[in-house]
Structure 1
C-alpha cells in the first residue's frame, strides 16, 4: 500500500483520519436520532437491515479492525460478533436476532470510538500494510459512510412523516453544451496503485486500450426517462434483455421505484414527502434492466466500466489519469453533490467546475451510474485485507456502478471507486448515462 502520499507527516495523516472518522460518526448520529426507537428497531423493507443493526455493526467493524487487528486488544463483546457479521445473517432475518437495543448500540459504538481514537494517536503509519498511510482508519471511515448511505436508503423506504431535511441544490443555468462527448481511442491507465485509501478492487493500476466512443455529457434526466415510459417502453419486449423482460412482467414494473401517475402527472415519494417528479434531475431508483432498456430504446447502450472511467479520468492533453474528473484535488461543494448535504440529485448540467477534461459533467456525485460491466477483478488483483470485501462478489451476478451519489461522502468516492449490485436493485440511489460507438 506504499504511496507517495504516505510521505505526508504522520500528524497530517492523523488529522485526515480523525476528520473522516468524525464526519462519518456525525452522519451516523443524525440518521439514528431523527426517528424514535421503534423506527430504529423496525425492518422497513426485507431488503434492508433495521437501522439499529447498522449502528451496532458499524461499531463492531471498527472494533474488529482498529482495536483488535491494529492495536491487538481483546474483544470487548465477543458474543455479539456473529450477530453483526453481514455474511452470517441475511438482512431479512436480522430483526429476529437478539440485537442490542438502540441505547446499548449507541453506548457500544461510542465506547469503541473512544478507544479507537486513543489508538489513532499512537498507531504507526508506516511499516505495516494495514496501517500504512492510515489505511485501516480510512477503511473504517469508508465502511461507516457506506452504511450511512445504506441507512439513508432505509429512510427513503420508511413509511411515515418526514424525518430528514436538507437544503436543495442550487438551480442550474440551462446547459447549452453538446449532448454527448467523443472520447478518443487509445490507452489509458485504469485503477490505482497510488491512492493510499483505495480498496482492493480498485487495484492495481493497469493499461487498457479503448476504442473511440461517444458518452452522454449529462446523466439521463427524469424528463428523458418519462419519454421512454410514454412511448410504451415498459410494454415493448424488444428493448429488454430476456431476464429484464421476465423481471418487468413478474413484478409489474411501470416506472422508477417510488413513482406513481396521478391526474396526468408523475409524482414520487421522497423521504416522506410526495412531490412532482422534477424533470431536470437525473433519473433515480432505476435498476440495471431499466437503464439498459432505456439505452436500447434511445438507440444507444450503457457504457462499459472501462469507458466510464476513461471518460471520467483521462486527460488527453497529458495522457495521464486524474484522481477525479476535474483533477487531483479533493472534492469541494463546487465540484460535486456529495455527503448528504442535499437529499436529492442536482439538476442535470450542474457543477461545471467538476467536469472532466473532455467536458463530461456530474460523473461524481448525484446518482450512481450503472455500467454494462460485470463486477470482476483487475489483472493482478490481490484481496486485502479480507476476501469478503470484494473477492466473494466477483462474477456475472453483479453489475458495476460508478461515480457515487448525493448520499456518498467524499472519503468513499473517487474516480477509481467501484460499487456493485444485483441488476434488479432499485432502492439504491442509482441512475445512468448512455454511450455509443464512434
Structure 2
C-alpha cells in the first residue's frame, strides 16, 4: 500500500507557501486520513474500547469540523454547514465555541451519522475549503493561511491517533485481528550494543526558531542552563525491558513512583501494554496481528511510570526535554514514520544518537508546563494546548505513526503519565 508523497516545504510547516502549494498539501493530508481507513471493515469505524481511544468515524468527522468551525464559517461567504448538529457531535473539547460537545467516552455509542454520511461531510468540507484557499480575500489570507497550517497539522495529529486507536480497539478483541496483515516485519536479531554520546552543557536556547510552522506551546524560544550529560544512542529494546520484567521489576516497590505503584496494584500491570505471555514465550500485538516479540525492536506502549522505573532499575534516568532538544537540534529529521507504511518501531542501526525521530515517542522527565513568557492565543484556538499544561509529561521525537513533515526538534507532545496506548518508548540518560 503506497502513501501519498509529501510536498517539499509544503503547507503544514510553511504557512507562507503559494496558494496552489497549500491546496496541494491540503489534498494530500486529507487523502491520507481516508487512505488510513481503507483496511477497516465497516464495523470497525464506530468501535471505541476506551475513553481515550475514539472511533475512526469520529476522527474523520472531527477534523472536518475543525476546518468548518475555524475556517469556513468565519471566512467563506455564504458557506452552508453540512448539518447543524455536527458542531455538537464532533467538537472535541472547545468550550469557547459555545455549542458544547458530546461526551468523549460515549463517542462509540453513536451509530448515526453513518460512515457514508461522514465521508459525505468530509467531501462537502473539502469542496468548500478548495474554494476558500483559492478565493480568500488578500486582506484575510494571512489569518486564513495561519489557521490552515494549524488545521493541517491538527489532522496529521489525528492520523496518528487513528492508527493508535485502531490498534487499541483491535487488541481488545481476543481474536487479535490484524489491521493490515501485509505489514513488513523486521528480521529477528540481537540489538546493537547500547552506547552513549556525550553532550556539552552550558546556556542553550530551546523552543521554536520562528521558521516554519510551530504550535504555540513551543514558544517563546528561551535560554536554559544545562550541565554536561550523556544520552543513549538508541531506544531501550524489548530484550532489555524483558530483563527488567524477569528481574521482578513490576514487583519491586523501590523502583516505582507512588502513583505508578498504584497503577500496578489497580490494573495489574505485568508488562508493556501489548505484550502477551504464551507457552512459546512473549508475543506482541501489532497492527499486523499477534507475533513473537522481536528482541531488537524498541520497547513500546509503556507509561511514564514504567519508563521511570526501568531507568531507575538500569541505574540511569530519563532525559529532560531541554536535554533531548539540545541533542536533536540541527540533526536531520530522519527515521521510521507513517510515510514508510510499516506502522511499527524498527530495530536501531549502530551509530551515535539513532532513532531520535520516529519509531517511538520518547518520555522525558519534564512536566508539561508553559515556557517562560508563554501566552495562549485568544479565543477557542487558545484551548488547543494551553489549558492542558497541568499533570502531564512531555514526550519528544515522533513515532512510526507520525508524518515525517509534522515533527521537528522543538515539538512538544504531552500525555498523562499513566497512559500507554500511544507509541511511547524509552531513551536513557545520565550525568556526564
Give TM class, smaller chain: 0.7 to 0.9
Are positions 1:30 and 2:35 aligned together?
yes
Q: Paired residue for 2:128?
A: 115
Are positions 1:136 and 2:153 aligned together?
no
* Deviation digits for residues 308-344 of structure 1 (CA, Å, limit 9, x no counterpart): 111111xxxxxxxx3xx22xxxx4xxx2111252111
Are positions 1:262 and 2:278 aligned together?
yes
Q: What TM-score, normalized to structure 1? A: 0.85
Deviates more, 1:177-186 or 1:69-78: 69-78
Shift of 1:57: 0.8
Which residue among 292, 300, 305 is the counterpart of 1:284? 300
Q: What TM-score, normalized to structure 2? A: 0.86
Shift of 1:203: 1.3
- Equivalents in 2 of 1:73, 1:164: separation in Å? 42
Are positions 1:337 and 2:358 aligned together?
no
Shift of 1:10: 9.0
Are positions 1:222 and 2:227 aligned together?
no
- Aligned residue-pair number: 407
- Equivalents in 2 of 1:48, 1:418: separation in Å? 21
Preserved contact between residue 89 and residue 102 of structure 2 (Cα < 8 Å) = yes
- Equivalents in 1 of 2:216, 2:361: separation in Å? 20
Preserved contact between residue 337 and residue 399 of structure 2 (Cα < 8 Å) = yes
Are positions 1:184 and 2:197 aligned together?
no
Task: Give runs of aligned pairs for residues 21-420 of structure 1, distance below 5 A.
Answer: 21-71=26-76, 74=79, 76=81, 77-87=83-93, 88-97=101-110, 99-123=112-136, 130-131=143-144, 134-157=145-168, 158=170, 159=173, 161-165=177-181, 167-168=183-184, 179-263=195-279, 265-271=281-287, 273-313=289-329, 322=330, 325-326=331-332, 331=333, 335-340=334-339, 341-349=341-349, 359-384=352-377, 386-395=381-390, 397-420=391-414
Shift of 1:208: 1.4
Structure-2 change in CA distance of 1:129 and 1:342 (3 Å): same
SS at the partner of 2:179?
A: coil
Preserved contact between residue 191 and residue 295 of structure 2 (Cα < 8 Å) = no
Preserved contact between residue 46 and residue 110 of structure 2 (Cα < 8 Å) = no
* Deviation digits for residues 145-186 of structure 1 (CA, Å, limit 9, x no counterpart): 111111111221223532325653776998878711111111
User: Where do 5+ consecutive residues of structure 2 fail to align?
Assistant: 1-9, 94-100
Deviates more, 1:40-49 or 1:164-173: 164-173
Preserved contact between residue 392 and residue 417 of structure 2 (Cα < 8 Å) = yes
- Equivalents in 2 of 1:277, 1:57: separation in Å? 35
Shift of 1:140: 1.1
User: Where do 5+ consecutive residues of structure 1 fail to align?
Assistant: 314-321, 353-358
Structure-2 change in CA distance of 1:161 and 1:292 (3 Å): same
Preserved contact between residue 192 and residue 348 of structure 2 (Cα < 8 Å) = no
C-alpha root-mean-square deviation of aligned residues, in Å? 2.8
